[in-house]
Amino acid sequence: MVKKRVVVINTFLYSVEDLKKLFAEIVPEVELINVVDESLLREVLANDQPSIGVIRRICLYAQQAEAMGADLILNQCSSVSEVVDIASKMISIPFLKIDEPMAEIAVTTGNRIGVVATAKSTMGPSSRLVATTARKLNRNVKVNICFAEGAYDALLLEQDKEKHDKILMRTIEKACEENDIVVLAQGSMMSLLDKTKDMKVPVICSFRTGVEQVRKVLKMQS
């Protein structure tokens, strides 16, 4: 039997191993191919939005994924999630956003939704995704952006994950005091989920539900 082939477009090297583990657990039947281009995220951060160059490269990666026989493409990065809407028009296979299922869970769980981010480039796309999902599902929600100032630089520039985690946990704790549910807008935060289990409100991350949707879209038996 020929395996289904899934291509994941990553802008962040830290996410690759976490996604490999989740794919092995949730959809072990697929052939997983990771495309990693960290320059995409750097360019988005430098321009405060996806540049023409970023849009062009993601569209090319999507077309190449289809050309290599991919059955489905998964976008890993929230900062470029809106580019998926453009690239999807150029291909005939599904191009999924990893954070879309998370947004659906958020808007059907509470009215006040805290969106925790460490990269400024993520705040707009993630909050807009939650708001758009709420409109689609006819839910009335308030989206509160909770920015973890300094966490991104600690992880990427200083290579200090402990500092990154401390800043992030303070932001998450504050977000939990002010919201009905908290979403971690970036996959790099997934390692903190165990520390949030006893928070007063649910704290969710995109990676697990993002991979679970692959099984559903490919119509794979449970």
Model confidence at 88: pLDDT above 80? yes
Q: What percent of the chain has pLDDT over 90?
A: 79
Given pLDDT bands bounded at 50, 70 and 90, which one contains residue 191? Answer: confident
Please tell me the distance from the alpha carbon of residue 196 to that of residue 198, in angstroms, as a whole number.
6
Model confidence at 157: pLDDT above 90? no
Within 8 A by CB and 6+ apart from 12, the residues are 38, 41, 76, 77, 186, 187, 188
Give this prediction's pTM.
0.91
What the chain holds in terms of domains, given with CATH numbers, is 5-98+208-217 (3.40.50.1860), 100-206 (3.40.50.1860)
Please tell me the distance from the alpha carbon of residue 173 to that of residue 132, in angstroms, as a whole number.
26
Task: Give the distance, in angstroms, between the CA of residue 116 and the centroid of all CA atoms in the same chain.
Answer: 12
End-to-end CA distance of the chain, in Å? 17
Given pLDDT bands bounded at 50, 70 and 90, which one contains residue 73? Answer: very high
Calculate mean pLDDT across residues 145-173.
90
- In Å, the largest CA–CA distance within the chain is 50
Residue type, 131: A
Calculate mean pLDDT across residues 130-137.
95
Mean pLDDT of the chain: 93
Model confidence at 192: pLDDT above 90? no
pLDDT in tens, 18-58: 999 999 999 999 999 999 999 999 999 899 899 999 999 99
Task: Give the distance, in angstroms, between the CA of residue 128 and the centroid of all CA atoms in the same chain.
Answer: 13
pLDDT (0 to 100) of residue 75: 97
